[in-house]
Structure 1
Amino acid sequence: MSAAAKTADEGDIPPAAVPKAKAPVLAMIVAVMVSAAASGGAAFWFSSHGAAPAAGHGEEAKKEAPPKAPAQYLALDPAFVVNLEDPDASRFLQLEIQVMARDAAVLEAVKLHQPRIRNALLLLLGQQRTAQIADRAGKEKLQAAVLAEIQKILKDETGKPGVEAVYFTSFVTQ
């Protein structure tokens, strides 16, 4: 049998008839890898540079809040010292308070209206009972009441509450 007949019988394809498919497949793989790398790089760049998503995504588009200004603190000096409303004994509360705002103008307003603020806080603190402020929950409730009182005064005087938080930096009952 001749070599050509033997090749046809065994099902072998002569080397000249084999298509050169390796080059296009390799080119396609390289193209896919380059495309994936470019997509990944673009996604990284947009996420790290804070680019906004394309318009028209409705609820999916997140609105970025502007960065907050740094917190600024002001101590309401001197410390508050009041008699507590306790029918069984003479009890005292000594309390140091600091207010926090993110705008220097708010702290200037607190300084300007400090006599009114201190008066309101002395009246508020003097109404407390030892049992009411003995645990953490009671102290946090008092802290919220102090904040509300300061914000109410600032809103009356300046038109906005301004102060974001109050902190007790010393709290002594006796």
Structure 2
Amino acid sequence: MLAKAENPAATTSFADGTRIAFAAWRVVRRASHQLSALTGALAPSAKDEVFMVDEEQPEVVSDAPVERRSRMPLVIGVVVVLVALGAGGYLWQSHRAAHATTGKVAAVELSKAELYLPLEPAFVVNFRDNDSLRYLQVGVTLMSHDPEAINVAKAADPVLRDGLVALFSNQNFSIISDVAGRQKLQEQALVTVRKVVQARLGRPGIDALYFTSFVMQ
């Protein structure tokens, strides 16, 4: 099984955001040129200044500045809106890309075949049963489809053995002497192993634990 390819959502979204920002910049630039042209067209010429001081046309002199002032806020408002739209589009694309990236979990490369790891040598512990001292020998083998989990278990062998010895030596003879008791002990041993692998690999990794030998005296 192959690991899932890296999701290109973050790269695509960043490119989309860049295009939006560039388009907004072009619109702003075009609006700036239009604003400059409009301002130049609205600016009074020398002829207009002479005309403005003509006492015979007072109405024209008073109305022209009002028209220029009324158009300027409208043009500036359009430019501000265009800039805000471009920036908003870029931020939205970036936010969506971040969520898409964090929502994806890297796939684990698993083996189709079952991988086994015997924990050798077998475990030998003593435990008390009422006033008697009992002896227990257990052979343990781990199984997984995750090669990384097997490697982690190999590297953590001393930690695994310490946890399992503590578990085996804390048993009651009357409980583990029957099948149900041994199955429960087997489940507890698997939980112990998975905790160690989880702490190092970030996932339990081990699929099963088998008792290959189980001797009590």
TM-score, length-scaled by structure 1:
0.60
Deviations 1:84-117, CA, capped at 9 Å, x for gaps: 2323211010000000001222111100001001
**Kept in 2: contact 1:69–1:103 (CA 8 A):** no
Is 1:169 matched with 2:169?
no
2:209 alignment partner AA: V
Contact 1:117–1:150, Cα closer than 8 Å, also in 2: yes
Specify which of 158, 164, 169 is matched with residue 115 of structure 1: 158
Query: Which runs of structure 2 are paired with 1:1-150 in the superposition (5 Å)?
Result: 69-150=112-193
Identify which range, 80-89 or 130-139, moves more after superposition: 80-89
Tell me how many residue pairs correspond in the alignment: 108
Deviations 1:138-173 (A, max 9, x none): 000000000000001111111110000000000000
Q: Distance in 1 between matches of 2:211 and 2:172?
A: 17
Preserved contact between residue 111 and residue 147 of structure 2 (Cα < 8 Å): no
Give the distance between the partners of 1:157 and 1:68, measured in 2 at CA: 20
1-side partners of 2:207 and 2:146: how far apart? 10
Which structure 2 residue ranges, 5 or more long, are not aligned?
1-109
List gaps (5 residues or longer) in structure 1: 1-66
The aligned amino acid for 1:147 is L
Partner SS, residue 76 of structure 1: strand
Q: Secondary structure at the match of 2:205?
A: coil
**RMSD of aligned alpha carbons:** 1.4
Q: Distance in 1 between matches of 2:139 and 2:174?
A: 20
Indicate the SS of the match to 1:171.
strand
1:19 corresponds in structure 2 to none
Distance 1:167 1:144 in 2: 10
Deviation at 1:68, TM superposition (A): 7.0
Counterpart position of 2:46: none
Identity of aligned residues (%): 39
Regions of 4+ moved over 3 Å: none
TM-score between both structures, scaled by the size of structure 2: 0.48
In the other structure, the counterpart of 2:196 is 153
Which has the larger displacement, 100-109 or 160-169? 100-109
